[in-house]
Chain A
Amino acid sequence: MKTIQGTGVSAGIAIGHISVLKEKETVVRQEVKDTVAEIERFRGAQSQAVAQLDALRTSTAADLGEDKAQLFDAHKLMVQDPGYVDNVERMITDEGVNAEYAVHATGEKFAEMFSRMDNEYMKSRAADVRDVSERLIAALTGESEGTGKKTENQGPHIIMAEDLTPSQTAQLDRTTIMALVTSKGSRNAHTAILARTMALPAVIGIGDSFDERDDGKQAVVDGDEGVVIVDPDETTLREYQEKQRRYSEHQRLLQELKGKPTQTSKGQRIKLYANIGRPSDVDDVLANDAEGIGLFRSEFLYLDSQDYPTEEFQFNAYREVAQRMEGKNVVIRTLDIGADKQVGYFGLEHEANPALGYRAIRICLTRPEIFKVQLRAILRASAFGNISIMLPMITSVNEVHDAKAIIEAVKAQLRSEHVDFDERIKVGIMIETPASVIMAPELAREVDFFSIGTNDLTQYTLACDRQNPNLSRFADPHSPAVLRMIAMTAKAAHDAGIWCGICGELGADRELTQTFVDDGIDELSVTPSSVLPVREIVREH
């Protein structure tokens, strides 16, 4: 038994087997002379892959049911797909390259094609093509099965990795993950936020305790205490099974709060909204009875794409969310790329201090052609529900004026095209810089609402890089400096007669709920899994 202490960033208990996510080895392009033999080698790998998939199909059908097994029918067809095979064999013959490289390049070609599609479902098929290509490459290089493939036939696993990029986390199939454990990472890193959104227990920052050899071993992950226990003994296992049972019991009690108002005993009402990152998260929003969406991070549209997402693609995503929320408020935050969320095709220069750099509204105001596409999509979608626009990283009244001028120009264009949109769409701003707190009284006269982004506000107020795990003890969001910033913002909003919410991680911090209620915060937007726990606390006051 080995007990590892990390930082718990997402609550819950998981008991299962570890699957270590290894860094993928890069496929090297090599010249081959005997292309006929190379094609033979590819065909050998192909039969091996087919045999593996047949076995996988049989075992999956037995363990997880026919439904899950059908995926491997599609994989098998892909391995033998005439277009795929033709592309691989032509590359070997015409370019004289090794089979591994030809398979990798072909897989990427088809994966790119899928990921460019205007359809979330088809986009995710890119992962299937990559999966199949990896299987073929593994067969070519003589590995028995590709890395991470074990997860398919053994059901959900505890994923352990050095670090996970936002796109890696997003690409993980949530039906096969029961918990996340990483060696690096910080509380506000995107992995942590995604884990909370997906209601998966997560422990980060286990540092050197990360050991690839733990792959396949049984483990307990306690997301509350930040503890990971590898190879637990009988007593420990029983103890955690009991803890897991109590946790589920509490979750069940929370379910009884569904449909109940988020109101203190004195009658003060709080709007309890949820944060989402993609349209499919609406399932969790509805399941947890959130009263609206206080933060729809639009970045996923950009992060998941190989090129600027089209107006139509964005419109479909926004409309889907607005329609499914049936008239409840949906606050869409405009593009917040830059700093820790880089996107290749934006061609952003490397910066020494990305958090203080060219990001979010700063990109939108200097490259209005990109901003306008998003605004057109949001405005068009506003005809299908109750949408609000939220501008990130505001530091001055002038920026709000400039952004509003662009919004008005887009509206005028839509009117001239006779395209429907909500004429009274609300425009609000994120309060996440000390400058915006200082200027809050003036800013409040320009906009319809404030929403405090506590992650960045903490980072900028306390001068602590949120990505730097060594600063954890200094980057304390409970610091009186941060809490006073929040109170000042709420007061400025109320003086001007607009509402003020919190959409950062702090909004779900149950130790602070009382403080926020006393500050008169009107809205809390939290990860879907935190909606009911926060409602519970509000109702106790």
Chain B
Amino acid sequence: MARSFTFVVTDPNGLHARPASELVSKAQACQSQVTVGLGESVADAKSILGIMGLGVKCGDMLTVRVEGKDEESAAQNLERFFKENLK
């Protein structure tokens, strides 16, 4: 059973280099597979180029999906990260 949550980006600069790097580092620390979806595009959250390639702007709604052994705790950690760093 995969875990997922949605998040609306309110940082006026969107998902720029610094938070994108932090997100990728967080995702890389998870054993689970983590993806970030925007509209019809989905990117591997462990890939900085993938995440930045989404071109996330302020106001975009992202769908984060976590699947794997540690999905429960990983999803919780990531959701907290989004709330604390991208508001």
Contacts from A to B (Cβ < 8 Å): 70-71, 73-74, 77-78, 81-84, 110, 113-114, 117-119, 121-122, 125, 128-129
Beyond the given A70-B18, A122-B55, could you list 12 further A-B residue pairs with CB under 8 A, ordered by the A residue number?
A73-B18, A78-B48, A81-B47, A81-B48, A82-B46, A83-B44, A83-B49, A84-B49, A119-B57, A121-B16, A122-B52, A125-B52
Closest partner residue, chain A, to B57 (CB atom): A119
A-binding segment of B19-27, B61-69, B70-78: B19-27
Contact A82 B47 (CB under 8 A): yes
Closest partner residue, chain B, to A124 (CB atom): B17
Closest partner residue, chain A, to B50 (CB atom): A83
Q: How far is the CB of A115 from chain B (nearest CB, A)?
A: 12
Contact B47 A74 (CB under 8 A): no
Contact B49 A118 (CB under 8 A): no
**Interface status of B14 (Cβ within 8 A of chain A):** yes
Using a CB-CB cutoff of 8 Å, which residues 13-57 of chain B contact chain A?
Answer: 13-14, 16-18, 20-21, 24-25, 44, 46-50, 52-53, 55, 57
Q: Nearest 6 CB-CB pairs, A to B? A: A77-B48, A74-B21, A73-B21, A74-B17, A83-B47, A117-B55
Q: How many residues of B contact A (CB 8 A)?
A: 19
In the bound complex, residues from chain B placing their C-beta under 8 Å from that of A77 are 21, 24-25, 48
Q: With the chains together, A70 CA to B52 CA distance in Å?
A: 15
Closest partner residue, chain A, to B20 (CB atom): A74
Which of A82, A114, A122, A128 gathers most chain B CB within 10 Å?
Answer: A122
Closest partner residue, chain A, to B18 (CB atom): A70
Q: For chain B, what secondary structure do more than half of its interface residues adopt (helix, strand, loop), or is it mixed?
A: helix
Contacts from B to A (Cβ < 8 Å): 13-14, 16-18, 20-21, 24-25, 44, 46-50, 52-53, 55, 57
In the bound complex, residues from chain B placing their C-beta under 8 Å from that of A114 are 52-53
Closest partner residue, chain B, to A82 (CB atom): B47
Q: What are some 6 contacts across the A-B interface (CB < 8 A)?
A: A71-B17, A74-B17, A81-B47, A81-B49, A121-B13, A129-B49
Contact A110 B49 (CB under 8 A): yes
Q: How far is the CB of B35 from chain A (nearest CB, A)?
A: 13
Closest partner residue, chain B, to A116 (CB atom): B55
**Residue B48 contacts which of A74, A113, A118, A119 (CB distance < 8 angstroms)?**
A74
Closest partner residue, chain A, to B15 (CB atom): A122
Which of B18, B20, B47, B57 gathers most chain A CB within 10 Å?
Answer: B47
In the bound complex, residues from chain A placing their C-beta under 8 Å from that of B21 are 70, 73-74, 77
Q: With the chains together, A7 CA to B17 CA distance in Å?
A: 39
In the bound complex, residues from chain B placing their C-beta under 8 Å from that of A110 are 49, 53
Which of B20, B50, B52, B53 gathers most chain A CB within 10 Å?
Answer: B52
In the bound complex, residues from chain B placing their C-beta under 8 Å from that of A73 are 18, 21, 25
Closest partner residue, chain A, to B22 (CB atom): A73
Q: With the chains together, A84 CA to B48 CA distance in Å?
A: 9
Q: With the chains together, A117 CA to B56 CA distance in Å?
A: 10
Closest partner residue, chain B, to A129 (CB atom): B49
In the bound complex, residues from chain A placing their C-beta under 8 Å from that of B46 are 82
Closest partner residue, chain B, to A79 (CB atom): B48
Q: How far is the CB of A309 from chain B (nearest CB, A)?
A: 15
In the bound complex, residues from chain A placing their C-beta under 8 Å from that of B49 are 78, 81, 83-84, 110, 129
Q: How far is the CB of A171 from chain B (nearest CB, A)?
A: 17
In the bound complex, residues from chain A placing their C-beta under 8 Å from that of B55 are 117-119, 122
In the bound complex, residues from chain A placing their C-beta under 8 Å from that of B20 are 74
Which of A82, A113, A128 gathers most chain B CB within 10 Å?
Answer: A82
Q: With the chains together, A129 CA to B17 CA distance in Å?
A: 12
**Residue B53 contacts which of A70, A74, A113, A118 (CB distance < 8 angstroms)?**
A113
Contact A121 B14 (CB under 8 A): yes
Q: With the chains together, A118 CA to B57 CA distance in Å?
A: 10
Q: How far is the CB of A116 from chain B (nearest CB, A)?
A: 10
Which of A71, A74, A77 gathers most chain B CB within 10 Å?
Answer: A77
Q: With the chains together, A74 CA to B48 CA distance in Å?
A: 7
Q: With the chains together, A236 CA to B16 CA distance in Å?
A: 44
In the bound complex, residues from chain A placing their C-beta under 8 Å from that of B44 are 82-83
